[in-house]
Amino acid sequence: MNSSHPVVAAHIVPGHPHILLAPERSPGWTSLRKSYQALAADIAAAEADVLLVYSTGWVSVIGHQMQADPNPRWLHVDPNWYELGDMPYDFRVDAAFGHAYAAQARAVGLEARTVSYHGFPIDTGTVVALTLANAGNRLPASIVSCNMYSEKKESVLLGQAAARALWAEKKRAVVLCVTSLSSRYEVSEIDPAQDRISSLKDDEWNRKVLELLGEGRLEDVSQVAREFAHQANADMRFKAIWWLAGLLGQHNRYRGRVRDYQPVWGTGAALVSLEHAEKELAHKEFDDVPDVDVSAGAGSARGADGPVFVPGAPKPVGTYPHARRVGNMLFLSGIGPRSPLDNSIPEGAEAQSRAVIENIKSILAAAGSSLERVVDVTAYLTHMERDFAAFNKVYAEHFAAIQPTRTTVEVGSLPTAIDVELKVVATC
Q: Which of 99, 152, 184, 354 binds other proteins (CB under 8 A)?
A: 184
Nearer to other proteins, 79 or 303 (CB): 79
Rule CB under 8 A: is residue 82 a binding residue for other proteins?
A: yes
Tell me how far, at minimum, the Cβ of 121 lies from other proteins, in Å: 5
Tell me how far, at minimum, the Cβ of 179 lies from other proteins, in Å: 17
Stretch that binds other proteins, among 17-25, 58-66, 334-342, 371-379 (CB under 8 A): 58-66
Rule CB under 8 A: is residue 188 a binding residue for other proteins?
A: yes
- Which residue from 320, 321, 327, 405 is spatially nearest to 369, judged by alpha carbons? 327
Nearer to other proteins, 69 or 220 (CB): 69
Q: From CA 256, how far away is CA 214, in angstroms rounded?
A: 4
Tell me how far, at minimum, the Cβ of 43 lies from other proteins, in Å: 26
Q: Rounded to the nearest 5°, which phi and psi values hold at 365?
A: -60, -40
Rule CB under 8 A: is residue 55 a binding residue for other proteins?
A: no
Rule CB under 8 A: is residue 399 a binding residue for other proteins?
A: no
Tell me how far, at minimum, the Cβ of 147 lies from other proteins, in Å: 7
Rule CB under 8 A: is residue 60 a binding residue for other proteins?
A: yes
Q: Which of 3, 4, 79, 282 binds other proteins (CB under 8 A)?
A: 79
Nearer to other proteins, 21 or 420 (CB): 21
Partners of 408 in beta bridges:
379
Tell me how far, at minimum, the Cβ of 73 lies from other proteins, in Å: 12
Nearer to other proteins, 80 or 407 (CB): 80
Rule CB under 8 A: is residue 347 a binding residue for other proteins?
A: no
Tell me how far, at minimum, the Cβ of 105 lies from other proteins, in Å: 13
Rule CB under 8 A: is residue 185 a binding residue for other proteins?
A: yes
User: What 3-state DSSP class applies to 106?
Assistant: helix
Q: Is 109 exposed, middle or buried (0-12, 13-18, 19+ CB in 10 A)?
A: exposed
Contact yes or no for 73/91 (Cβ under 8 A): yes
From residue 185, give the alpha-carbon distance in Å to each of 25, 188, 233, 237: 17, 9, 10, 15
Tell me how far, at minimum, the Cβ of 160 lies from other proteins, in Å: 19
- Which residue from 278, 242, 275 is spatially nearest to 46, judged by alpha carbons? 275
Stretch that binds other proteins, among 10-18, 179-187, 254-262, 329-337 (CB under 8 A): 179-187
Contact yes or no for 71/93 (Cβ under 8 A): yes
Tell me how far, at minimum, the Cβ of 55 lies from other proteins, in Å: 11
Sorted by sequence, the CB contacts under 8 Å of residue 198 that are 6+ apart come out as 182, 184, 185, 186, 263, 266, 267
| Subset of 233-252 contacting other proteins (CB under 8 A) | 233
Tell me how far, at minimum, the Cβ of 378 lies from other proteins, in Å: 40
Stretch that binds other proteins, among 92-100, 184-192, 333-341, 366-374 (CB under 8 A): 184-192
Rule CB under 8 A: is residue 62 a binding residue for other proteins?
A: yes
Q: Rounded to the nearest 5°, which phi and psi values hold at 312?
A: 95, -15
Nearer to other proteins, 80 or 344 (CB): 80
Q: From CA 199, how far away is CA 50, in angstroms rounded?
A: 37
| Subset of 149-178 contacting other proteins (CB under 8 A) | 149
Angle, alpha carbons 291-293-299 (nearest 5°): 80
Rule CB under 8 A: is residue 124 a binding residue for other proteins?
A: no
Tell me how far, at minimum, the Cβ of 236 lies from other proteins, in Å: 12
Nearer to other proteins, 77 or 425 (CB): 77
Q: Binding residues for other proteins, how many (CB under 8 A)?
A: 31
Q: Supply the angle between the helices 240-248 and 152-169 in degrees, to the nearest 10.
A: 40
Element (H, E) at 51: strand 50-60
Partners of 187 in beta bridges:
none
- Which residue from 251, 260, 312 is spatially nearest to 287, judged by alpha carbons? 312
| Subset of 128-147 contacting other proteins (CB under 8 A) | 147
Q: What would you report as the CA-atom Rg of the chain, rounded to the nearest whole angstrom?
A: 23
Q: For the stretch 256-283, what's the b/e string if a residue is b when 16 or more beta carbons lie within 10 angstroms of its beta carbon?
A: bbbbbbbbbbbbbbbbbbbbbbeeebee
Q: From CA 219, how far away is CA 80, in angstroms rounded?
A: 34
x/- mask, other proteins, residues 90-119, rule CB under 8 A, reads ---------------------x---x-xxx
Rule CB under 8 A: is residue 123 a binding residue for other proteins?
A: yes
DSSP for 69-101 reads -SS-EEEE--SS-GGG--EEEE--B-HHHHHHH
The residues binding other proteins (CB under 8 A) are: 58-63, 75, 77, 79-80, 82-83, 86, 111, 115, 117-121, 123, 147, 149, 184-189, 233, 265
